[in-house]
Amino acid sequence: MFTPAPQADAATLGMQAVTVAAAQKGKPYKWGAVGPRAFDCSGLMVYVYDTRLHKKLPRTASAQRRATTRIAKSQVRPGDLIFLYSGSVTNVTHVGVYAGGGRIWHSPHTGDHVKLSTLWTTHWTAGRVR
């Protein structure tokens, strides 16, 4: 029986995560929502990874940061979670899934919707779901 290398598994999972996140494009932001009709930022990550890809992920962005494996910015690849922070990296204010090319899929705030955006700050850290 063939067993793919762990890096291949992570890359495949990452691309699946990007595909699931992209399929939510245009759905409205709603605080506390975890889909499938509306999402807040961390709720979108729970929907992508926990609900659809069956990889356990906590509910809040801060807990998601603690639960993922830290990834250097130079090693980020599609599917990694991008945690935006204010001041300290432990003060997570937002999360999105990295799509490649410096862009993330995310659900920004009230009045907005799930969309693909270019990263707008250098105050971010990354984590990989295993």
Catalytic residues: 41, 94, 106
Contact in structure between 28 and 20 (CB atoms under 8 Å): no
How far apart (Å, rounded) are the C-alpha atoms in residues 82 and 73?
10
Residues 6+ apart with CB under 8 A from 88: none
Torsion-angle region of residue 5: left (phi > 0), alpha (psi -120 to 50) or beta?
A: beta
